[in-house]
Amino acid sequence: MSTFLPLTRPTLDEETIAGVAEVLRSGWITSGPKVKEFEAKLSELFGGRPVRVFNSGTATLEVALRLAGIKAGDEVITTPLSWVATSNVILTVGARPVFVDIDPVTRNIDLDAIEAAITPATKAIIPVDLAGLPVDRDKLYQIAARHGLRVIEDAAQSMGSSWQGRLIGSFGDLVSFSFHPNKNLTSIEGGCLVMTEESDAALAEQYRLQGVVRSGMDGMDVKVLGGKFNLTDVAARVGIGQLARLDEFTHQRRELAREYFKQLESPKALALGIGLPVADFEQSNWHMFQVMLPEGEGWPRRAEVMEKMHAAGVGTGVHYPPIHLFTLYREAGWQEGNFPQAEHAGRNILTLPLFPTMTADDVSRVVATLVSTLQSFLPS
């Protein structure tokens, strides 16, 4: 029987593992020299912009909102098709998320629908690069400039992605990345926030650790309400090892995505009506490979497909259920039918395995399993 193929698997080399052991032996395992080294390397990657690392990509979004001055009574426009943290952080700072439906082709927020959602209370936009496919940054920032809005890029999934030849994070307003284990670069848990001003970076440090400002040998003050969001040196050392291989990881993911298209564009697969993502092999980092399952009479529910594929030794995932249909958000007034494109994706989108150590044979196995699973529901 074939070994189970998981949805994703982090790639941690022996040099990184040895480096973590060195940090553990050093006695300095919380935030220290490795955090500073990681931040310096990330800043270099992003063209010298200020970068601070945090213990999660959720923390980076929350701090970005605070840096942008978002507060109670404000509105922030975002997509309903994302990990729920994207909108939860808006609630955390007391503001109101305003959802805009997705573009059915890119599956990102429909930029053409944003302006209709802008009100006098709108203060910011949080776009999400679903699966690493970048939102059109030119159109996004034109809209923001016309209406005087801040942009907080939820680039949690887009480490290594680019727009028009520019690396995501090397330009723009506030850019938030996640280093969760399922991301293209991991620090086990963690994230970073890329900013434009050193003054913002200094304030981000205060928000990162209880608002504390130190001076001299024993001076301490607290000027803002901060949290406990710092990254450890252990995690930073993992991130440093990953960063050195980011280009390699991105290249391998793109090659695997090409193989997925080659396999899924076969007559047998096309006949099943499987919806494919945008075939962008230059700008997307291919954080995920997501297909859209056929929907309608005679077709199985997604859970049935996932169960059969799991039984055949292939892991799958769902990214994501529409945020506005969670109980917390329904209680705030959203309901089914508000965002039909996001709801269609939420019912039918399926994430297939994709990680750097996969092979073309693994892709063939995934596609063959998906095709045979769907065919098993067809009338004989």
Q: Which of the following is catalytic: 71, 183, 223, 308? A: 183
71 is catalytic: no
Residue 128 bridge partners (DSSP): 154
Q: Which residue has the tokens 């799958």?
A: 316
Cβ distance 209 to 229 under 8 Å?
yes
Query: Measured between alpha carbons, how far is 151 from 112 in angstroms, rounded to an integer?
Result: 16
- In this structure, what is the dihedral angle of CA atoms 346, 347, 348, 352, given to the nearest 10 degrees? 60
Query: Measured between alpha carbons, how far is 285 from 137 in angstroms, rounded to an integer?
Result: 16
Query: Measured between alpha carbons, how far is 230 from 122 in angstroms, rounded to an integer?
Result: 30
Q: Using DSSP, state whether 359 is helix, strand or coil.
A: coil
Residue 288 bridge partners (DSSP): none
Cβ distance 81 to 346 under 8 Å?
yes
- In this structure, what is the dihedral angle of CA atoms 226, 83, 340, 285, given to the nearest 10 degrees? 120
Which DSSP helix (H) or strand (E) runs through 176?
strand 174-178
Query: Measured between alpha carbons, how far is 109 from 102 in angstroms, rounded to an integer?
Result: 4
15: amino acid identity, one letter: E
Cβ distance 39 to 48 under 8 Å?
no
Between β-strands 174-178 and 212-215, what pairing exists: parallel, antiparallel or unpaired?
unpaired
215: amino acid identity, one letter: S
- In this structure, what is the dihedral angle of CA atoms 302, 307, 311, 317, given to the nearest 10 degrees? 70
Cβ distance 100 to 113 under 8 Å?
yes
Q: Would you please indicate which residues are annotated as catalytic (active-site) residues?
A: 183
